[in-house]
Amino acid sequence: MVSMAESCEGPPLIALRGIRKHYGGGDSGQPAVTVLHGIDLDIHAGEFVAVVGSSGSGKSTLMNILGCLDRPSEGSYHFQGQDVARLDADALAWLRREAFGFVFQGYHLIASESASENVEMPAIYTGLPKPQRVQRAQALLQRLGLGERLGNRPNQLSGGQQQRVSIARALMNGGHIILADEPTGALDSHSGAEVMALLRELAAAGHTIILITHDRSVADQAQRVIEIRDGRIIGDSVGQLGQDAAQTDAKGSGSERPLSAIPAIPAQGSASTAPLLAELAEAARSAWRGMRLNRVRTSLTLLGIVIGVVSVIVMLAIGEGARRKVVEQMGTMGTAILYMGSQSPSTGGPAGQITEEDLAALRELPEIRRVMPVIGDPITVRYGNADKQIYVFASSEEMPLVHHWKVGQGRYYTDAEDQDLAPLVVLGHKAHQHFFPDTPNPLGRQLVIGSSAFEVIGVMSERGADSGAQNYDDMVFIPYQSGRARVYQAQTQPDYVVIEAVSSDLVNEAEAAIRRVLLERHGGREDFGIGNAAARIQAEAATRKSMAVMLGLIAAVSLVVGGIGVMNVMLMTVRERTREIGIRMAVGARQSDILRQFLTEASLVTLVGGCVGLLAGLAVGMVLLVLDVPLVFSVRAMVGAFVCAVLTGLIFGYMPAKTAARLDPVRALAGE
């Protein structure tokens, strides 16, 4: 046995001492097997080493340990003097990325990516900007004779070509140490010879090559041949290349051709060097490709999200539409309004009299804010030669407040003017147009109402068609007391009284208080009636509200169901793409890179689903509007649904992404 270690100077690049690897045993339920039985091995920079042994002798296990894809069960591994056992996951990823380049028997190319993209991949994780990345990948492929095949996918390449692509990938980040596991195993003898020639060339260029093979004749082409049997090194001899080199050495040409040195391993937990945005863009690009390749599955997942978003948008719009409808029904009167008037008691007898004293007593009640008596009838109103039957509304100065209605021009009469029986009139918008079509400012003109003259002091603003009270625009408004004195002389009491409770929560209390006071004042006879429309409207509003909440809940559930769909697909994707994850880890992806990639994919699906859902929701809404369903789109609901959809993707995508990131590189590569 000839050890090569003494022939090389300096500390070894790789130093293994007493490496053992056990599988199974413990609580795994599998019988314990020991695959490596104490391996001691030094490899120096620039060596071309072949590890040869029959199938099952532990070569691949050894290579996985050398390449930091796997950890030994016992023993120590020093890389450039540093103990690998002490490195964290990110530092190991750094080693795989910067120091090693893997070439596998099965090539391990990502099937959905082109030759050039496969070669670029290791540089994505070092943060090399895209133009340089593409340039270098293409230069490498050109050098390996694949200049014509840059855009081909792996299944459009022969085995030999695929292996050259994987060699180019190994070289992408420098490939200081090339670990090749049976690189010629799946190739015909011609392609195999080509690959071997390539490896010899790389060795000559200064790369450290560790070649694993079961084929003695392949191994012999290396500089140093290590023989392994049943997990033990049984031979370490000079290969043919070594003898050639020795001869060259004898001729005195010198054989040490150091490649640029491997940089020191950065401090543990080294963060990503790639700009976040570039990495996200890269993840989005590959996610987009994955979605396109699995169109049917993607569209089914999208459907879940789209239905969720559409239902949130449409249901909330319907809920809001129903609510608005109720508000409209309330008109502009608000929800704190009660009506009261005299009527015959149900037990028979004459109707009651609502007196001024009754109203004064009601005004004293703490539950009541305003008491507005109203008398109104169509009366002939005249200006010059024009006359018309007009509804003359006689009430207190509180009318604009009770009706939430603004005076457009001039002013409303005051309580003092009302008490003084002042002959003043305020016109509705249409009444103004009727009597004074050519007079924009009718203030100061005299209208004859019945047989008395009234001075115009104001014009109300237009209520419009959608207020639910547009006929108010036709009326004229006069003070209650002067109305009784000058127009409605025969009237002994108000037609009805509008009562406003202090708040809409207190309408029922106000109703009870009114009843109590009037019963007391009317000697216990219920010769009056109280209309509580507010309570009815409130009850209706409450029903609509609970309906809207229910619709919202249904919508939310469908969004969650959509999210579970995303999770399901992502879990399937992770399972399907275990090998791809393994490959990415072998070329140096950190756990965070894998996590980010899968999260990006999940959120891309939901982002697209959210956009489509938004548009579809609007479309469905338009159709419903055409069908006369009252609905009101809310920007808040749309933004909310969209944000929820994307969040759903992130939340439900996180678990699968975490699963992917936690995969063990060796097991992932094996596709387990």
* Chain contacts with ligand ADP (rule: CB under 6 A): 23-24, 33, 35, 53, 55-61
Q: Is 173 helix (H, G, I), strand (E, B) or coil?
A: coil
In 165-263 the beta strands, taken as DSSP E runs, fall at: 177-181, 208-213, 224-229, 232-238
Cβ 53 to ligand ADP, closest distance in Å?
Answer: 6
Q: Choose from Mg ion, ligand ADP, none: what does 481 bind? Cβ within 5-8 Å by kind.
A: none
Residues 97, 101, 106: CA angle, nearest 5 degrees:
120
Q: Is residue 523 exposed (0-12), middle (13-18) or buried (19+ Cβ within 10 Å)?
A: exposed
Least Å distance between CB 578 and Mg ion?
19
Pair of tokens at residue 462 = 């237009």
Q: Which stretch binds Mg ion (CB under 5 A): 59-67, 377-385, 539-547, 597-605?
A: 59-67
557 binds, among ligand ADP, Mg ion, none (CB under 5 to 8 A by kind): none
588 binds, among ligand ADP, Mg ion, none (CB under 5 to 8 A by kind): none
Decide whether 222 or 354 has the Cβ nearer to Mg ion: 222
Give whichever of 60 and 396 is closer to ligand ADP, judged by the CB atom. 60
- Of 57, 60, 161, 162, the one binding Mg ion (CB under 5 A) is 60
Residue with tokens 């929820």: 644
Structure tokens, 335: 């929800």
Residues 6 or more apart in contact with residue 286 via CB below 8 angstroms = 112, 113, 597
Residue 104 vs 436, nearer CB to ligand ADP: 104
Instruction: Kindly indicate which of the ranges 36-44, 60-68, 388-396, 458-466 contains the residues binding Mg ion, using the contact rule CB under 5 A.
Output: 60-68
Residue range at the interface with Mg ion (CB under 5 A); choices 55-63, 76-84, 249-257, 329-337: 55-63
* Rg, C-alpha atoms of the chain: 45
| Min dist. Cβ of residue 105 to Mg ion (A) | 7
Q: Of the two residues 53 and 321, which places its CB atom closer to Mg ion in the complex? A: 53
Tokens encoding 202: 């790389």
Nearer to ligand ADP, 23 or 389 (CB): 23
Minimum CB–partner distance for residue 181 and ligand ADP (Å): 7
Contacts of 620 (CB under 8 A, 6+ apart): 310, 314
Least gap, CB of 663 to ligand ADP (angstroms): 14
Closer residue to ligand ADP (CB): 58 or 428: 58
Residue 20 C-beta: closest distance to ligand ADP, Å: 12
Among 440, 432, 455, 453, residue whose Cα is nearest residue 382: 453
Options 53-61, 250-258, 573-581, 644-652: segment touching Mg ion (CB under 5 A): 53-61
**Which tokens is 433 given?**
């147009």
Q: How far is the CB of 672 from ligand ADP (least distance, A)?
A: 8
Question: CB–CB of 538/323 below 8 Å?
Answer: no
**Residues 602 and 650 sit within 8 Å (Cβ to Cβ):** yes
CA distances from 483 to 357, 393, 493, 569 (A): 19, 9, 12, 77
191 near Mg ion (CB under 5 A):
no
Inter-CA distances, 236 with 52, 55, 56, 167, 232, Å: 10, 18, 19, 26, 11
Minimum distance, C-beta of residue 162 to ligand ADP, in the bound complex (Å): 20
Out of Mg ion, ligand ADP, none, which partner does residue 23 contact, by CB within 5 to 8 A per kind? ligand ADP
Query: If DSSP codes are grouped into helix, strand and coil, which group holds residue 379?
Result: strand
Under the rule (CB under 5 A), what is the footprint of Mg ion?
60
